[in-house]
Amino acid sequence: MGLLLSLYFLFFFLSVSSGEISNFVGVNYGLLGNNLPSPKQSVKLVQSLGAKRVKIYDANPDILNAFKDTNIQVSVMVPNELIINISNSQKLADSWIESNVVPFYSKTKIRHLLVGNEVISSSPKEIWPRIVPAIRKIRSSLRTHNLNKIKVSTSMAMDMLESSFPPSNGTFRSDIADPIVKPLLQFLNRTKSFYFLDVYPYFPWVADPKSINLDYALFESRNITYTDPVSSLTYTNLFDQMVDSVVFAMKILGYPDVRIFIAETGWPNAGDIDQIGANIYNAATYNRNVVKKLTAKPAIGTPARPGWVVPSFIFALYNENQKPGPGTERHFGLLYPNGSYVYGIDLSGKAPASDFEPLPKPDNNEPYKGKIWCMAAGGANATALSSALSYACSQGNKTCDPIQPGKPCFKPDSLFWHASYAFSSYWSQFRKAGGSCYFNGLATQTAKDPSFGHCKFPSVTL
């Protein structure tokens, strides 16, 4: 009987442990859209996708309430702008936990708390050294409230690395390795938490499509492999290369066993005319393949960590129309805002490929060659459009001279046409310096020349 009890408790322990690091695939639930379904509707959609986890970018009470009694694991986030104040005040950390976690914990399965999102990539330098002190205070507060099931961490992008190729040469940036990353890894190792990592093979591929094979980035390569000359490990996809470069970087700092949690990964289903490879075919192919890999049983892991479970979140639940930046930023969703699927996918990894409808063939896997113009978007708010027009015209270089009274582009004397000319003129002059055809969502690219009569719209030539 004693042996049977021992075996039972051993099995129970392993079951609980594996539950904490299960290979479930979840989804990131962002809110940067003005046309998204309600939290209650979103819960049903998350469940329809087969997701067992969800990550939100704050601690929205409506969302936390919506996920109560669903058995879906939830990750919440302390906003970047609160990190400095929390790092300086245990009282503030306690208050944040008491307001944003304690009221929901008994009903909502909160399992991870991330202190900031890509802080080093997106926030001022003065915040960086405060990440780990804030993490420590948040964990202290959780322990005070006996919320010991919640693991604490922060999410990091690949730009934390100084070198990532070959993977064995993975090294954290010299400006952050010792003062920031090492204390973080020490904390994660001590508390058995995860290093949350954002991994997007799309971005290195799109930056160098001639050197990186698209099939290799999409998990579709059959005969393409890469063997690391130092580790002798062989890679069959770009995702594994990127993850293992972080594994080797952690090893250099003395923490070879800190577990990795994929905080974000995905592929855009559309984008601007000048953005290659952003289409439904590639997005579906990548996400279906990465889900298949991450949910495999037994776990596949990576070449540097064979057999390791890699829990994960796909980015993102919806196409979010208010995300700034290039068009791809607004097209990472698995769902359209009306709740319909962009393409068939099952995050549980159980559905066979034959369950899904055929995908539309990609038409932008090669760089676009031709001219592009930047036009005002139809239905744009007049007040906002007027402000954007003023901004474009204020940048100098005679950007708006042709739309002044008596000039060739003054007529038709309409806000739409004047803004369209100003946007095209601005973009053609400042694109190489970082200018974009976005204007807070008021502009859109077109391959159709809007010029008329004596009015010639400036263009960008690719």
Query: Cα(375)–Cα(380) distance, rounded to whole angstroms?
Result: 11
Asked if residue 342 lies in contact with residue 269, where contact means CB atoms within 8 angstroms, the answer is: yes
Give the pair of three-digit tokens for residue 168.
């064995």
Q: What's the pLDDT tens digit per position in 241-252? A: 999 999 999 999
Strands (E), 212-362: 226-227, 234-235, 259-264, 301-302, 305-306, 312-314
Q: What's the pLDDT tens digit per position in 434-455? A: 888 999 889 999 999 999 999 9
Pick the CATH number of 371-461 from 3.20.20.410, 1.20.58.1040, 1.10.3720.10, 1.10.40.30: 1.20.58.1040
> Which pLDDT value is given to residue 434?
86
Rounded to an integer, the average pLDDT of 208-217 is 96
Choosing from 98, 126, 220, 264, the catalytic residue is 264
Q: Reply yes or no on whether 126 is catalytic.
A: no
Q: Count CA within 13 A, CB hemisphere, residue 425.
A: 27
What pTM was estimated for this model as a whole? 0.91
List Cβ neighbours of 147 (8 Å cut-off, separation of 6 or more): 97, 101, 102, 105, 110
Give the pair of three-digit tokens for residue 35.
């046309």
> Which pLDDT value is given to residue 12?
39
Cis (ω within 30 of 0) for the bond into 412?
Answer: yes
Q: Reply yes or no on whether 162 is catalytic.
A: no
Query: Cα(451)–Cα(126) distance, rounded to whole angstroms?
Result: 48
Rounded to an integer, the average pLDDT of 6-33 is 65
For 45-97, give the DSSP string: HHHHTT-SEEEESS--HHHHHHTTTS--EEEEEE-GGGHHHHHT-HHHHHHHH
Give the pair of three-digit tokens for residue 347.
């995050």
> Which pLDDT value is given to residue 40?
97
Is residue 431 scored above 70 in pLDDT?
yes
* Element housing 376 (H / E): strand 371-376
Choosing from 20, 81, 98, 118, the catalytic residue is 118
Rounded to an integer, the average pLDDT of 145-168 is 96
Is residue 127 scored above 60 in pLDDT?
yes
CA distances to 3, 156, 328, 342 from 159, in Å = 51, 8, 19, 29
DSSP 34: S
pLDDT above 70 covers a percentage of the chain that reads 96
Q: Helix (H, G, I), strand (E, B), or coil: what is residue 195?
A: strand
The confidence band for 20, taking pLDDT boundaries of 50, 70 and 90, is low
* Element housing 117 (H / E): strand 110-117
Closest CA to 164 of 214, 199, 189: 199
Beta bridge partners of 171: 163
Pick the CATH number of 22-355 from 3.40.50.10440, 3.30.360.10, 3.40.50.970, 3.20.20.80: 3.20.20.80
The type of residue at 291 is V
| Stated length of the chain | 462
Q: What are the residue ranges spanned by the domains of the chain?
A: 22-355, 371-461
> Which pLDDT value is given to residue 331?
97
Q: Which residues of 350-366 are buried (b: 16+ CB within 10 A; e: fewer)?
A: eeeeeeeeebeebebee
Give the pair of three-digit tokens for residue 7.
């075996």
Rounded to an integer, the average pLDDT of 69-90 is 97
Q: What's the pLDDT tens digit per position in 373-426? A: 999 998 889 999 999 999 999 987 788 999 999 999 999 999 999 999 999 999
> Which pLDDT value is given to residue 84?
98
> Which pLDDT value is given to residue 93?
98
Asked if residue 78 lies in contact with residue 114, where contact means CB atoms within 8 angstroms, the answer is: yes
Q: What's the pLDDT tens digit per position in 260-299? A: 999 999 999 999 999 999 999 999 999 999 999 999 999 9
Is residue 13 scored above 50 in pLDDT?
no
* Element housing 427 (H / E): helix 415-430
Query: Cα(452)–Cα(443) distance, rounded to whole angstroms?
Result: 19
The confidence band for 18, taking pLDDT boundaries of 50, 70 and 90, is very low
**Average pLDDT, rounded, for the chain:** 93
Q: What's the pLDDT tens digit per position in 105-121? A: 999 999 999 999 999 99
> Which pLDDT value is given to residue 5?
41
Q: What's the pLDDT tens digit per position in 321-369? A: 999 889 999 999 999 999 999 999 999 999 988 899 999 999 999 989 9
Let me know if 68 is exposed, middle or buried by CB neighbors in 10 A (0-12, 13-18, 19+). middle
